[in-house]
């Protein structure tokens, strides 16, 4: 394999790897399907023996009641008195994907096709499920200045049992406490089962065809670690995993909602297909028996918001894994840490991407220099190789023998640049997914016309610059003697530029900077090798 073929090999390898990685993330069978009847080690028998079922919606329809409006520093929320569901959640610190003048709506029960609500309920002794009607002391709640929390209390009374469902919103936190306070005023003991679930459709938030994103179920336990579950897998086989720890939720690009039951409470994670387009994923647990006259408080948390690493880590173990960096997250996570550190100094994510690219290029330069030198040496040999091609014509065997002899004479190993380039491929792929998955870049401005590093360049200036940089790189490399390879190398910049027209500006910015630095490095090495070749021809005379 000569250097020209090596270049083609590396380019196509990176393309195939990135496409394969994207396909795997979107279409590969979920691991959790095989665990549908699994009991995680350490789970107590109380979960496995959960009695009763979550209220079944034979003909799925969200029941309407009265809306309670809640406003905090982070949220504008709507809570329905039927079930005490969280039906709508507007994030005040994040803009809508298609309109930066409006806020991003994460949960909603009125959008089409999106349906996305958070529900809880109790099972047993006619206790209130997500279909029961609660009452509230006020129709609106507002977090007051100087206060760090806002409590919204919903009440239900039936058969001598009083149940309060209490939402507690915290200032500057996307974790919401959702507690049940159960008072048994009846004459008989009760053993409730509590469940927490998220209802979502299988059509919305799927990304584009060129850049699909995952929207579906997710869960985590210390035993199984982080798992994703596509809606199509929920349809094939319901999830049934038991554990004493962990959380269950719904994942989409940049955002996640997760129910986190009380620590140490045995739980069973479940899924169910409600109709052709609606699914639910949740957790249920059998609670302690409540004697007549006794009471029980059942705490839980709902995280519903952006996948900001700091917030995820503070909320629950394993929640940070919802930031999807692909199969090379062990490389991508440290890269994001460095990127965040740089951003804390420069306060601009675009500048941080440029500086990170410089650091990576500097770290890999000793390796890259080998491939640059190999390219430069092959460039110097190009005229002699062309003469050999004309001399031997179609006799490929003699041509190959002559080339090997020439490489040996000139002490050139055309494969010397292969390993350094291959070593860098995992870093390039990790950077790609890290920049694609980091919500910090969403609506983050760079300068001038680029006001959102997570969106495509509105004027396609960066993709055009990238195409030009690829053409320059092609000119710096040795021209292939094979006409087919020459045509491929000629059209490659155009093809790649077209693809990058649809990539987020942050990704294109990284590649542009990377290409510009590579051009300078290749030019410098070419100049040095050419000077050395001229000196050799002159017999060492200056």
DSSP 504: B
Structure tokens, 526:
């070419």
> Taking Cα atoms as reference points, which of 301, 282, 316, 293 lies closest to residue 50?
282
- The domain locations on the chain are 35-323, 338-374+418-534
**What are residue 360's phi and psi, to 5 degrees?**
-65, -45
- CA dihedral (278, 217, 22, 447) in degrees, to 10, reads 90
**CA 220 – CA 319 distance, rounded (Å):** 8
**CA 437 – CA 323 distance, rounded (Å):** 6
**CA 302 – CA 314 distance, rounded (Å):** 13
Identify the three-state secondary structure at position 164.
Answer: strand
C-beta neighbour count of 444 within 10 angstroms: 21
DSSP 444: -
Q: Which residues contact 273 (CB under 8 A, 6 or more apart)?
A: 234, 235, 238, 279
Identify the three-state secondary structure at position 187.
Answer: coil
The region that residue 503 occupies, defined by phi over 0 for left and psi between -120 and 50 for alpha, beta otherwise, is: beta
**CA 268 – CA 246 distance, rounded (Å):** 10
pLDDT for the residue numbered 418: 61
C-beta neighbour count of 318 within 10 angstroms: 21
HEC string of 358-424 equals: HHHHHHHHHHHHHHHHHHHHHHHHHHHHHHHHHHHCCCHHHHHHHHHHHHHHHCCCCCCCHHHHHHH
Regarding pTM above 0.85, the answer is no
Pick the CATH number of 35-323 from 2.70.98.90, 3.40.1670.10, 3.40.640.10, 3.40.50.300: 2.70.98.90
pLDDT for the residue numbered 193: 97
**What are residue 28's phi and psi, to 5 degrees?**
-65, 145
Residues present in the chain in total: 542
How do the pLDDT tens digits run along the chain, 542 residues long?
344 444 444 454 555 445 444 444 444 434 433 334 444 434 443 333 343 466 655 567 888 889 999 999 999 999 999 999 999 999 999 999 878 889 999 999 987 778 999 999 999 878 999 999 999 999 999 999 999 999 999 999 998 999 999 999 999 999 999 999 999 999 999 999 999 999 999 988 876 666 668 899 999 999 999 999 999 999 999 999 999 999 999 999 999 999 999 999 999 999 999 998 899 999 999 999 999 999 999 999 999 999 999 999 999 999 999 998 877 888 888 999 999 999 999 999 999 999 999 999 888 887 777 666 666 666 667 777 777 777 777 777 777 777 777 777 766 666 655 655 677 778 878 888 888 889 999 999 999 999 999 888 999 999 999 888 888 887 777 666 566 766 776 777 777 777 788 888 998 999 899 889 888 888 877 777 666 666 666 665 55
**CA 193 – CA 47 distance, rounded (Å):** 10
CA atoms within 13 A on the CB side of 199: 25
pLDDT for the residue numbered 389: 72
Q: Which residues contact 465 (CB under 8 A, 6 or more apart)?
A: 512
523, 370 in Cβ contact below 8 A?
no
pLDDT for the residue numbered 57: 55
> Taking Cα atoms as reference points, which of 371, 314, 395 lies closest to residue 526?
371
């Amino acid at each position: 394999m000569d250097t020209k073929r090596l270049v083609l090999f590396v380019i196509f390898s990176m393309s195939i790897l990135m496409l394969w990685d994207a396909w795997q993330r979107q279409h590969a069978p979920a691991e959790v399907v095989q665990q549908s009847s699994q009991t995680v080690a350490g789970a107590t028998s109380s979960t496995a023996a959960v009695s009763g079922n979550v209220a079944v919606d034979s003909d799925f329809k969200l029941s309407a009641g009265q809306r309670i409006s809640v406003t905090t520093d982070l949220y504008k929320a709507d809570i329905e008195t039927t079930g005490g569901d969280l039906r709508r959640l507007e994030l005040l610190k994040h803009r809508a994907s298609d309109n930066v003048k409006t806020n991003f709506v994460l949960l909603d029960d009125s959008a089409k096709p999106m349906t996305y609500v958070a529900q809880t309920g109790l099972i047993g002794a006619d206790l209130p499920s997500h279909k029961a009607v609660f009452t509230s002391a006020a129709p609106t709640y507002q977090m007051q200045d100087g206060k760090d929390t806002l409590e919204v209390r919903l009440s239900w009374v039936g058969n001598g049992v009083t149940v309060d469902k209490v939402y507690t919103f915290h200032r500057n936190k996307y974790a919401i406490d959702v507690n049940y306070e159960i008072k048994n005023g009846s004459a008989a003991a009760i053993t409730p089962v509590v469940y927490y679930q998220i209802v979502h459709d299988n059509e919305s938030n799927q990304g584009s065809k060129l850049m699909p994103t995952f929207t579906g179920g997710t869960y985590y336990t210390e035993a199984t670690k982080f798992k994703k579950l596509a809606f199509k897998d929920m349809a094939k086989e319901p999830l049934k995993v038991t554990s004493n720890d962990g959380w269950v939720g719904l994942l989409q690009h940049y955002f996640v909602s997760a129910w986190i039951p009380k620590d140490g409470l045995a739980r069973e994670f479940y899924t169910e297909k409600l109709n052709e387009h609606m699914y639910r994923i949740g957790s249920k647990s059998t609670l302690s028996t409540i004697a007549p006259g006794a009471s029980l408080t059942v705490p839980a948390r709902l995280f519903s918001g952006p996948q900001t690493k700091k917030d995820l880590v503070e909320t629950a173990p394993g929640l940070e894994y919802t930031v999807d960096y692909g199969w090379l997250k062990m490389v991508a996570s440290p890269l994001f840490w460095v990127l965040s550190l740089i951003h804390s100094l420069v306060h601009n994510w675009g500048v941080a991407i440029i500086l990170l690219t410089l650091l990576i290029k500097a770290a890999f330069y000793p390796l890259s220099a080998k491939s640059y030198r190999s390219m430069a040496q092959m460039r110097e040999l190009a005229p002699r190789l062309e003469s050999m091609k004309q001399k031997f014509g179609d006799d490929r065997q003699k041509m190959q023998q002559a080339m090997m002899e020439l490489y040996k004479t000139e002490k050139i190993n055309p494969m010397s640049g292969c390993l350094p380039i291959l070593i860098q491929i995992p870093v390039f792929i990790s950077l790609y997914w890290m920049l694609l998955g980091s919500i910090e870049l969403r609506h983050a401005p760079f300068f001038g016309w680029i006001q959102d590093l997570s969106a495509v360049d509105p004027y396609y200036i960066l993709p055009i610059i990238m195409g030009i940089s690829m053409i320059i790189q092609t000119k710096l490399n040795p021209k292939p003697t094979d006409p087919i390879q020459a045509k491929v190398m000629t059209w490659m910049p155009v093809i790649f530029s077209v693809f990058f027209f649809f990539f987020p500006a942050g990704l294109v910015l990284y590649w542009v900077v990377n290409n510009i630095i590579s051009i300078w490095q290749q030019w410098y090495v070419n100049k040095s090798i050419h000077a050395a070749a001229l000196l050799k021809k002159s017999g060492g005379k200056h």
